[in-house]
Homo-oligomer: A and B are copies of this chain.
Amino acid sequence: MSYSKDMPDLDLTHGDDAAAVNSLRSAVMRLSRRLKHQRVDESLSPTEMSVLGTLSRCGSATPGELARKEHVQPPSMTRIVALLEGKGLVRLEPHPEDRRQKVVTQTEQAEAMLEESRRKRNAFLAGLVEGLDEDEWASLRAAAPVLEKLAHL
User: Which of B71, B121, B143, B147 lies in contact with A22, CB distance below 8 A?
Assistant: B121
Q: Which of A96-153 contact B (CB under 8 A)?
A: 118-119, 121-123, 125-126, 128-134, 136-153
Collect the chain B residues with CB atoms within 8 Å of residue A46's CB.
Answer: 29
**CB distance B27 to A147 under 8 Å?**
yes
Closest beta carbon of chain B to A46's beta carbon, Å? 5
Confirm or deny: A32 has a beta carbon within 8 angstroms of a beta carbon on chain B. yes
Closest beta carbon of chain B to A21's beta carbon, Å? 5
Confirm or deny: A1 has a beta carbon within 8 angstroms of a beta carbon on chain B. no
**CB distance A26 to B148 under 8 Å?**
yes
Closest beta carbon of chain B to A128's beta carbon, Å? 5
Collect the chain B residues with CB atoms within 8 Å of residue A44's CB.
Answer: none
Confirm or deny: A23 has a beta carbon within 8 angstroms of a beta carbon on chain B. yes
Distance of A46 Cα from B37 Cα, bound (Å): 17
**1/0 contact string of A12-34 vs chain B (CB within 8 Å):** 10001110111111111111111
Confirm or deny: A42 has a beta carbon within 8 angstroms of a beta carbon on chain B. no
Confirm or deny: A47 has a beta carbon within 8 angstroms of a beta carbon on chain B. yes
- Once A131-B153, A137-B8 are accepted as A-B contacts, the answer to whether A23 and B71 lie under 8 Å apart by CB is no
A20-B140, A23-B144, A26-B148 known; 14 new pairs, CB 8 Å cut-off, are A8-B138, A17-B141, A23-B145, A27-B147, A30-B152, A33-B72, A34-B71, A131-B149, A132-B146, A132-B149, A132-B150, A136-B146, A139-B143, A139-B146
